[in-house]
Amino acid sequence: MKRILSIGICLIMGMSIVLAGGAKEKASVSTDGSTSMEKVIGALGEAFMNQNPGIKFTYNPTGSGSGISAVKEGRCDIGLSSRALNDSEIAEGLNQTVLAYDGISIVVNNSNPVTGLSIEQLALIFTGKIANWKEVGGNDQTIVVIGREAGSGTRDGFETITGTKESCLYRQELTSTGDVIASISQNPAAIGYASLSSVKDTVKTLKVDGVIPSEQSIADETYKIQRPFIMVTSNARTLSPSAQAFFDFAMSAGTESIISNAGAVDAK
Amino acid sequence: MPSSKTREVSISALLLAVTLVCVAAVLLITVYLMWAGLPAISEIGLGNFLLGKEWASTSSNPKFGILPFILTSVYGTFGAILIGVPIGIGAAVFLSKIAKGPVKRILTSAIDILAGIPSVIYGLIGMLTLVPGIRKLFGLPDGASLLAAIIVLAVMILPSIIKLSAVALDSVPKEYEEASLALGSTPMEAYLHVSIPAARSGIIASIVLGIGRAIGEAMAIMMVSGNVANMPSLFGSVRFLTTAIASEMSYSSGLQRQALFSIALVLFAFIMIVNALLHLILKKGKKHE
């Protein structure tokens, strides 16, 4: 009896694998890259699947650098990057399309009395030349600089705009936006950067040059620390019909409210 | 029906085949690591690679020195052993010699659960409790440090040390302890001076296994160690051999990617040395018995 049962279970499991494989015939579009774009691309994907129930949408949050490699190596349909492609990447046959603009929020612990910093002050803090919060009007405590790993689009955007490329002195280099926010919420002396769309009230957002990041201050460019959200495609391969459908959907005029609800500013 | 002899032969051939799958996996990994890891070492230079103090893989003038990672891994593992071994052996003595009945059953299953907790959970809890705790306790600006990683690793290696040591202590013949007691020693003296020395080779094997686990762990310590490529210091932010690979592999390219494979090769060499050591100890232990 037991034996018959176990053979039966094996058969069912085997069949389910085969059948699930069959169901996978369903058209799909795969995206891979920037963790900062999670909210925007998640909202777009969801709306897209609602409109096209026959197409399966996937998003793999790995980081901008990794998304660019993935599309180059053909491991996904559309790569997602929160920094513009550099010359060598364009020379390798990659294409970029700006989907939206995002602010990089400068965040500190909720208990920190500082409310704003200038870009010069930020550069001095992140390169270690200002080491104590009292030098910028805060408490007498050592500043803890928290950043992202070297492949991050947020890090690239922040360091490019503040002119601190390769000279930042980090106390911690974390591998996702969420880890950065969690660490800062635990440490009263910490400062870090994170995508505007992922910042919640567990941390405090600072004004930069007197401007708080918001959809409006990003659109009119008064908030300086902003970068593009781009979709990366390869010249070597044409998009599958389903991937092309998603691409067109994301770039269509109707998605403006989806993108702004997710905290970014539509680029069209 | 095939004769029982052909059945015997065919089953043993099947068992041989599945064993060969394991051997093939080991060979494949070894060959692949050599093939992928050696080019970068020869390009960077063995001395510069192993003894270089600076790692800046993505800068415009890249530097590939992994001495900080090697030292961090060695110190981290050593620290974990320093904390984990006394606790582990103590717990093993209690479990094997003193605990009885339901107490023993509950303790044993608690240790089994500890062994089964995924490493990302150790990391998460460490990040949210241990890191702020260290910051407050020592009055540091930030708690993500080598010390936090050592504490997490020490807890993670406890189950393997306790389980193996307890098995070794269980197998010490009762007569040894009885003889000691008959000569007037107290039970504790008998455990410390007779049982532990008699179970020596098993206990040492458990420590070596703990070293292997500690040196290979990545996920948990990545979340508590700060992950900056500094030369190691107890309260500083550090990066291990494993976390250096894990944090950069996904977006690496060119020489950077090759160098990450070279780090993997170094890590592999470490694990091989630890395993060889384990083998040697077990063999020696057998000879003594």
A119 in the same domain as A218: yes
Q: What is the pLDDT of residue B286?
A: 67
Q: In this model, does residue A237 exceed pLDDT 90?
A: no
Alpha-carbon separation of residue A212 from A180, A209, A225, B14, B42 (angstroms)? 20, 9, 11, 69, 51
Signed CA dihedral, B46, B49, B52, B58: sign only: positive
Q: Which long-range contacts (CB under 8 A, 24 or more apart) does B125-133 make?
A: B126/B151, B126/B152, B126/B220, B126/B223, B126/B224, B127/A179, B127/A182, B127/A183, B127/A186, B127/B223, B127/B224, B128/A182, B128/A186, B130/B224, B131/A183, B131/A186, B131/B224, B132/A186, B132/A187
A166 touches chain B (CB under 8 A): yes
A140 in the same domain as A90: no
- With cut-offs at 50, 70 and 90, classify the pLDDT of residue A19: low
Picking from A62, A171, A182, the nearest residue to B250 by CB comes out as A62
Q: What is the pLDDT of residue A21?
A: 56
Q: In this model, does residue B3 exceed pLDDT 80?
A: no
A107 in the same domain as A78: no
Q: What is the pLDDT of residue B248?
A: 84
A139 touches chain B (CB under 8 A): no
pTM: 0.80
A65 in the same domain as A140: no
Residue A69, in any domain of the structure: yes
pLDDT over 70, % of chain A:
97
- Listed residue (A156, A222, A166) closest to A193, CA to CA: A156
Q: Across residues B100-104, what is the average pLDDT? A: 91
Q: What is the pLDDT of residue A1?
A: 65
- Beta-strand pair B55-56/A207-208: unpaired
Least confident stretch, A42-46, B218-222, B235-239, B280-284: B280-284
Residue B187 φ then ψ, to 5°: -55, -40
Per-residue pLDDT of A175-201, as tens digits, reads 888 889 988 998 999 999 998 888 888
> What domain range includes position A122?
103-226
Per-residue pLDDT of B43-83, as tens digits, reads 999 999 999 999 988 777 888 999 999 999 999 999 999 99
Q: Do A166 and B143 touch (CB under 8 A)?
A: no
Q: What is the CATH number of the domain that holds A150?
A: 3.40.190.10
A222 in the same domain as A131: yes
B228 touches chain A (CB under 8 A): yes
Q: Across residues B187-199, what is the average pLDDT? A: 91
Asked whether A192 and A183 are in contact (CB, 8 A), the reply is yes
pLDDT over 90, % of chain A:
49
A187 in the same domain as A153: yes
Per-residue pLDDT of B136-147, as tens digits, reads 999 888 999 999
Q: What is the pLDDT of residue A25?
A: 55
Residue A187, in any domain of the structure: yes
Q: In this model, does residue A26 exceed pLDDT 80?
A: no
Q: In this model, does residue B19 exceed pLDDT 60?
A: yes
Q: In this model, does residue A251 exceed pLDDT 80?
A: yes
A196 in the same domain as A167: yes
How far away is chain A from the Cα of B79, in angstroms, using its nearest Cα? Answer: 21
Per-residue pLDDT of B256-271, as tens digits, reads 889 999 999 999 999 9
Which residues on adjacent β-strands are paired with residue A98?
A: A230
Q: What is the pLDDT of residue A263?
A: 81
Q: Rounded to 5, what percent of chain A is helix, strand, coil?
A: 40, 25, 35
**What's the CA gap between B255 and A198, in Å, rounded?**
33
A211 in the same domain as A149: yes
A208/A267: higher pLDDT = A208
Q: Do A171 and B135 touch (CB under 8 A)?
A: no
Per-residue pLDDT of B215-255, as tens digits, reads 999 989 988 999 899 999 999 999 999 999 988 887 777 78
Picking from B141, B223, B227, the nearest residue to A189 by CB comes out as B141
Per-residue pLDDT of A142-179, as tens digits, reads 999 999 988 788 898 899 899 998 889 999 998 888 88
Q: Across residues B34-42, what is the average pLDDT? A: 92
How far away is chain A from the Cα of B128, in angstroms, using its nearest Cα? Answer: 7
A148 in the same domain as A203: yes
Q: What is the pLDDT of residue B279?
A: 84
Residue A237, in any domain of the structure: yes
Which residues on adjacent β-strands are paired with residue A193?
A: A106
A219 in the same domain as A111: yes
Report ipTM for this prediction.
0.76
Residue A139, in any domain of the structure: yes
| Mean pLDDT over the full length of chain A | 88
Number of domains, chain A: 2
A220 in the same domain as A125: yes
Q: In this model, does residue B9 exceed pLDDT 60?
A: yes
A172 in the same domain as A117: yes
Q: What is the pLDDT of residue B81?
A: 95
A14/A209: higher pLDDT = A209
CATH of domain B67-287: 1.10.3720.10
Q: Do A150 and B228 touch (CB under 8 A)?
A: no
Which residues on adjacent β-strands are paired with residue A78?
A: A31
